[in-house]
Structure 1
Amino acid sequence: MASPPNFQLPVLPALEAPTVHVADAERSFRVTFTASAPPMALSPTSISMALKSPEGIDCHGNERQVLGEQAKFFNNPLLSDVILVVGGERFYAHKLILVRSSDVFERMFSSEWSDSQTKEVELVEDSLCNSVFPRFLKFLYGCHIKLNIDSTLPVLILADKYNVEDLRNVCINFACSYIIPKLQLKDVFHVWFQYATKCYHVRLIAECVQVLAEKMDDITSSVEWQREWVNLEKEQLIQFLQNSDLNIKDEFDLWLAAVKWLQSTGHPQRAANFEDNLKEIMQFIRFPMMTSEQLCQVESHTVFQQHPELFQKAFMLAYKYHALPLVKRANVKEFMSSSFLLRNYSNLRWDKRFVVSQYSACPKGAEVSFRFSTRASSFPPQTWEWELKVHPKGYSTNSDDFRVVLNSNVILDQPRPIEYHLSVVDRNQILHSVCGKKNFSKARYQTDTEMDKKVSVADLCQTDSPLLVNDNLILQIALKPVE
């Protein structure tokens, strides 16, 4: 009999990991009302009517107990109507269970695929998948599985192959929580990132990129990572370029890394489609985040010289961004897109990105502080020290105002006239901005940014708030001397 296509399975390194029991909390008998009125509107009269109605009231037993009893039929010859042969091992199975769990099994046991009366079916799996097939099959019976670092990917491959969505989600959640954060970066890149992009598992891709983003400087510029970088598929490269969490020296370095990928030898197809690749990749390079000097360096590069028309629109917008004072930028709608989002740049700049993690866990009245440095306007060059104080859920236990305060963190010998531009952002755009000017001095060393006029605690605390990214509040600020 034909079998679904095989997946290529990379080898994972050994590492201890906890086991996971996948099952709902214990449930007792429960009743669900099916009256037409919303649940909150049910009255004794509605209940009485539902009791007398022909349809009646939905009543549920203990589902977990049912699953536990069903699990007893795993590899049990009792009432078995099919035998699965995997890697030479035979498993008693029940078509009803297989078909209920997987549309692939449904097609396999349909008349279109094969003789539905066939008693024994051989499944051809990867050798490492063979060893975890009993776990996979048992999950179909009892919705329960034990996972570790060695078994998770093979089980995920089986879940993908047979399209068992529930098990797929279990494996991905387990990998993101327990495996990927503990692996060496090379293993994350070669094993999990490659498989995630091949099967387009969005959450798994995001988790891999998040881990790799912490060492983006090494990945884009070190000899150790050169082969991996230039051999990325275009879609994999874009996964990195569109991410704001990259720890990178500056945007110009990321541009040079993208050019290295574009011009790499040994990829004839890439060279043949150079212009199309350049056009697509340029969308994810944040030219406004480069300095004016760096923009000039890009203009002198051979890639720019050969395709100037592709850069024209992006560069006009970048130069416009640099030409305007900070207090004017907040009112320009063109400056709201992802091209104007900061990454985690390590070079000393006029701006900085901050993340308030796990917003929902922040207590009322708490303060989250970020100390950072910017360039100064003095000569010889020196740094200016700052502190951004964020009150995510109110300035005090009695206050419901979202507040962000900017402090000058050094004793000033002379007044420091500054303009600021503070924004709340998500993955794709700037959501809200405030700007202003302040003359910092010994007596006036802080300013309230008045972000509470644009963002409220109620906005942030609402379910699935659009102001948060995975329960994180992301801020970015730009500071410059007043000219």
Structure 2
Amino acid sequence: MLVQISMRMLLLALCLHNGPVAVGANGASGDGGDIISHAFGVVQRLEALLVQGNASDVTLRVETPNADEVKLIQAHSLVLSLQSPAFEGLLLSRNGSGTLVLKESSDCAAVFDKFIRYLYCGEISLQLEQATPLHKLATKYRVLALQQGISQYMTQNLARDSPSGHVVGWYEYALQAGDSTTRDSCLDYLAWNLSSVLRSKEWTTISGQLLMSLLQRSDLVLQSEMELFAALEAWILRNEPDGLTAENALRAVRYAMMPPRELFRLQTQSPVLARYQESVRDLLYMSYQFHSASPLHMAKYFDVNCSLFVPRNYLSPAWGSPWVINSPTRDDRSTSFLTHLGPSGHDANKRVTWNALFSPRWLPVSMRSTETGGATQPARVDGAQPRIMITPATSSVDFAGVNFQKTVLVMARQQGKVVVKHIYNFYQSTEENGDFLANADLNSRSSQYLTGGSLYLHVVVKPLYQTLITTTTKN
């Protein structure tokens, strides 16, 4: 108890030495008057206190299993207890000993000095590879502010370049630590920027669990299903997983989204498919049938609502188009583009022309009052949110029984890269989402969603056949 009192007097002396923290108009602090702050000087003296070990009353002995090196840090009970409830408990239970023995893994021991310095100074500098061990320490010693700060750092630095990659490692750690926010941020980044991930060194290091989490998603952003299969084949050849893992992964490939010529090539040239062809034979058969008959005819015999027949977010021109909107806060913008009617080989020669309208200030339906020809028109006013509407240029009997889901990929600048930041799905207008670009702040030049003052989007049109099932079931 005497030690804690002396430490409080020491900290008070530091504050007084640097001048008053707050002085009001009548000389009293905290009355809303002008502030004179010497907080930076106090922090500097606290750091010097740690470095020099003055008035230290506890020695932190950091030991690493199976290692001879021991790290000793002269510290102060009051600072440790104020910053960490876990340290407070450990210090109270040390039975008067001047040494506190701490068992840490080698990666945590390597950054332990940084962690302790944060407790004294309230700031920390770190590199990508130090984020995980520092988060472990912040979690173990219940330093909530640092724990949250590192989680935010991870989310903001997913796109940063690193020699061997870091997002997969952060995902695996967040999954183990129960950090759902960081886990989901990592998983979304991997899924929405999969083409670049497939070309990185990180791809072959992912676990079977993460692999399946990605393969089962319909919102993967990549050039084509063939690109995904080639990367999966490389993963299997490199990692040599057990047969069940390989079969489950191969059955998650959407073969129906590949043209028949590519399916034939895979069956004759792929060493992985040659080894596991029996486990996916039924999927290949259904895919060939899908390409040879109309979707309406297919729906009479197969469940076309299963994932095999659901497109992902493919970037190839057959599925959509990039769209760069210059000065997106000024006036409406429009564009047109062509897509295939559907992924089925039966529809290979059929095209659909799409008209897209971007409005920076689109009033919600509930607030519209203008009508033209009996149809409600979008009204644009200041303060309303941006919206996109995508409609076919002409109607066609070929559309019968097919729903077209539109997907807008929104790019953003992160760490010098342009990455997919958000994905919005809708059937006619992004108004169906309600939060389209709600936090983009397109009026600010510093907005991460603007590159050179322009908004970079990619529109994907995905034909879905669910309604065919309903029709054939009733018949």
Q: Distance in 1 between matches of 2:308 and 2:85?
A: 40
AA of the residue aligned to 1:397: R
AA of the residue aligned to 2:244: E
**Deviation string for 1:305-332 (max 9, x for gaps)?**
42258749x9489939973369x99xx9
Give me the TM-score of the superposition, normalised by structure 1.
Answer: 0.52
How is 1:145-156 mapped onto 2 (pairs within 5 angstroms)? 145-147=124-126, 152=131, 155-156=134-135
Aligned residues: 362
How is 1:322-471 mapped onto 2 (pairs within 5 angstroms)? 323-324=294-295, 335=305, 340-346=310-316, 348-349=317-318, 351-352=319-320, 363=329, 367=332, 372=337, 374=339, 388-391=356-359, 393-394=361-362, 395=378, 397-398=380-381, 402-406=387-391, 419=399, 421-424=403-406, 434=427, 451-452=428-429, 455-456=431-432, 458=434, 460=436
Partner in structure 1 of residue 14 of structure 2: none
Unmatched 5+ residue regions in structure 2? 1-20, 25-34, 63-69, 176-181, 363-377, 410-422, 440-447, 450-455, 465-475
Please tell me whether the aligned partners of residues 111 and 134 of structure 2 are also in contact (alpha carbons under 8 angstroms): yes
Q: CA deviation at 1:202?
A: 0.9
AA of the residue aligned to 1:205: C
Partner in structure 2 of residue 183 of structure 1: 161
Paired-residue identity, %: 16
Partner in structure 1 of residue 115 of structure 2: 136
Give the secondary structure class of the aligned counterpart of 2:73.
strand
Q: Distance in 1 between matches of 2:220 and 2:135?
A: 28
Give the secondary structure class of the aligned counterpart of 1:181.
coil
1:202 aligned onto 2:188: no
**Deviation string for 1:434-478 (max 9, x for gaps)?**
4xxxxxxxxxxxxxxxx25x9457565889xxxxxx999986314
Give the secondary structure class of the aligned counterpart of 1:145.
coil
AA of the residue aligned to 1:389: L
1:166 aligned onto 2:135: no
Please tell me whether the aligned partners of residues 180 and 208 of structure 1 are also in contact (alpha carbons under 8 angstroms): yes
Q: 1:146 to 1:302 in 2, by over 3 A?
A: closer
Partner in structure 1 of residue 369 of structure 2: none
Q: 1:338 to 1:416 in 2, by over 3 A?
A: closer
Please tell me whether the aligned partners of residues 423 and 433 of structure 1 are also in contact (alpha carbons under 8 angstroms): yes
Q: CA deviation at 1:167?
A: 1.6
Q: CA deviation at 1:366?
A: 5.0
Q: CA deviation at 1:237?
A: 2.3
Q: 1:132 to 1:253 in 2, by over 3 A?
A: closer
Please tell me whether the aligned partners of residues 253 and 308 of structure 2 are also in contact (alpha carbons under 8 angstroms): no
Please tell me whether the aligned partners of residues 98 and 106 of structure 1 are also in contact (alpha carbons under 8 angstroms): yes
**Aligned residue among 271, 278, 285 for 1:306:** 278
CA RMSD of aligned residues (A): 6.0
Partner in structure 2 of residue 215 of structure 1: 196
Q: Distance in 1 between matches of 2:286 and 2:23?
A: 64
Q: Distance in 1 between matches of 2:160 and 2:405?
A: 33
How is 1:223-372 mapped onto 2 (pairs within 5 angstroms)? 229-242=203-216, 248-262=222-236, 264=237, 267=240, 270-271=241-242, 274-279=243-248, 281=249, 284-291=252-259, 294=262, 301-302=273-274, 305-308=277-280, 311=283, 315=286, 319=290, 323-324=294-295, 335=305, 340-346=310-316, 348-349=317-318, 351-352=319-320, 363=329, 367=332, 372=337
Q: CA deviation at 1:244?
A: 5.9
Q: Distance in 1 between matches of 2:123 and 2:86?
A: 20
Partner in structure 2 of residue 477 of structure 1: 461
**Deviation string for 1:107-164 (max 9, x for gaps)?**
64575xxx44322124465777666534322333454334456765653454355454
Unmatched 5+ residue regions in structure 1? 1-25, 30-61, 220-224, 409-414, 435-450, 464-469
Q: CA deviation at 1:251?
A: 0.8
AA of the residue aligned to 1:91: Q
Give me the TM-score of the superposition, normalised by structure 2.
Answer: 0.53
Q: Distance in 2 between matches of 1:373 and 1:28?
A: 68
Q: CA deviation at 1:385?
A: 7.8
